[in-house]
Amino acid sequence: KAGVTQTPRYLIKTRGQQVTLSCSPISGHRSVSWYQQTPGQGLQFLFEYFSETQRNKGNFPGRFSGRQFSNSRSEMNVSTLELGDSALYLCASSLGGGLAGYNEQFFGPGTRLTVL
């Protein structure tokens, strides 16, 4: 069974640009969560999608957005990039559903975003 895949693996952008990251969950998983990892703040929750609906959102500005498609694949978008957005962006998938709270989360390899 294939794991969580994320594309692209590396991105270099300049301030003011926008970027779209993609995540394909494990087959059969319907919940996708996104996390940002930086040396200073550690791992922070961005948002979670289940059945194409945003179910939870972290404390990030509106420049960070996401969506989920009917096949459970998810994208996140960051507009008007700032230097501080440089980070490793990790996607996690889980089964979701009625007992979602108890589900194990599986992470992808991440997308390393560098903003110059």
Contact set with other proteins (CB under 8 A): 4, 6, 31, 33, 35, 42-43, 45, 48, 50, 55-56, 58, 88, 90, 92, 100-102, 104-110, 112
Q: Which is nearer to other proteins, 17 or 45 (CB)?
A: 45
Q: If you ran DSSP here, which 8-state letter would residue 63 be given?
A: T
In angstroms, what is the minimal distance from the CB of 28 to other proteins? 16
Could you tell me the smallest distance in angstroms from the CB atom of residue 105 to other proteins? 6
CB-based contact 33:11 (threshold 8 Å): no
User: Given the complex with other proteins, which of 55 and 67 has the nearer CB atom?
Assistant: 55
User: Looking at beta carbons only, is 48 or 85 nearer to other proteins?
Assistant: 48
Which stretches of the chain are assigned E, i.e. beta strand?
Answer: 5-7, 10-13, 19-24, 31-38, 42-50, 53-57, 64-68, 74-78, 87-94, 106-107, 111-115
CA gap 112, 13 in Å, rounded: 11
Query: Quick one: 18 or 41, whose CB is closer to other proteins?
Result: 41
Least Å distance, CB 51 to other proteins, is 13
Of residues 102, 101, 93, the one with CA closest to residue 72: 93
